[in-house]
């Protein structure tokens, strides 16, 4: 199923003109996310591809993000960089009780650049996430786009009121059945 992200209302002018995310569920324990970013790619600061590894502060630059969990309760944040670096963190509640999610051993990322569009595909293993399996899970999709002048635009399925905040319960816009085969 494909979902369109929209820029935050306070976003600066952005060289990205559209961001779509395809969500696939190859089997119950995994998600396959494919982000397609369209626009003037020469004006987007895209990190160079490097060896895949866990890394911090990826959200400070061009990065795709996914949030999975129970708003107000435990949830996970996945940062997915075009460099193929990634990070996974677990929060006990809204921006509280953060820890590195060691139960996420790796996040394979494929990055495919183009002249007017790039895609980033990430495979998430979700069967080891420490979120109550019988809870009403929610899903948030977002992106951070940095232009070559250092300006940041925040994109999401849905934005909370006020400043950009992907952790806010309103940003968890997509219902998600933890045990279902398809979202």
Residue 179: the pLDDT is 58
Mean pLDDT (whole number) for 101-111: 97
pLDDT at 162 over 90: yes
CB 19 within 8 A of CB 143: yes
- Integer Cα distance of 138 and 159 in angstroms: 14
Quickly state the pLDDT bin for 1 (edges 50, 70, 90).
confident
Q: Does 70 or 114 have the greater pLDDT score?
A: 114
**Mean confidence (pLDDT) of the chain:** 93
What are the tokens at 4? Answer: 């369109």
- Integer Cα distance of 108 and 133 in angstroms: 24
DSSP label at 147? B
Sign of CA dihedral 84, 90, 96, 97: negative
Residue 178: the pLDDT is 62
Fold assignment, 2-175 = Immunoglobulin-like (2.60.40)
Residues 3-34: tens digit of each pLDDT:
999 999 999 999 999 999 999 988 878 899 99
Quickly state the pLDDT bin for 51 (edges 50, 70, 90).
very high
The residues that bridge with 19 in the sheet, in sequence order, are 5, 37
Mean pLDDT (whole number) for 91-110: 96
Residues 136-155: tens digit of each pLDDT:
889 999 999 999 999 999 99
- Integer Cα distance of 88 and 65 in angstroms: 10
Quickly state the pLDDT bin for 132 (edges 50, 70, 90).
confident
Q: Where would I find the H helices in the chain?
A: none
């Amino acid at each position: 199923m494909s979902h369109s992200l929209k820029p935050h209302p306070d976003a600066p002018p952005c060289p990205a003109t559209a961001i779509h995310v395809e969500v696939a569920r190859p089997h119950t324990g995994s998600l396959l996310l494919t982000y397609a970013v369209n626009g003037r790619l020469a004006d987007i600061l895209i990190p160079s591809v490097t060896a895949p590894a866990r890394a911090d502060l990826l959200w400070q630059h061009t990065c795709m993000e996914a949030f999975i969990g129970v708003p107000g309760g435990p949830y996970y944040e996945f940062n997915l960089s075009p460099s193929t670096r990634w990070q996974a963190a677990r929060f006990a509640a809204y921006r509280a009780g953060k820890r590195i999610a060691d139960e996420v051993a790796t996040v394979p990322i494929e990055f495919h650049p183009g002249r007017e569009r790039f895609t980033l595909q990430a495979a998430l293993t979700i069967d080891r996430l420490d979120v109550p399996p019988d809870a009403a899970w929610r899903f948030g999709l977002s992106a951070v786009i940095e232009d070559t002048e250092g300006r940041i635009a925040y994109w999401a399925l849905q934005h909370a009121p006020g400043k950009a905040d992907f952790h806010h319960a309103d940003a968890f816009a997509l219902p998600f059945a933890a045990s279902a085969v398809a979202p």
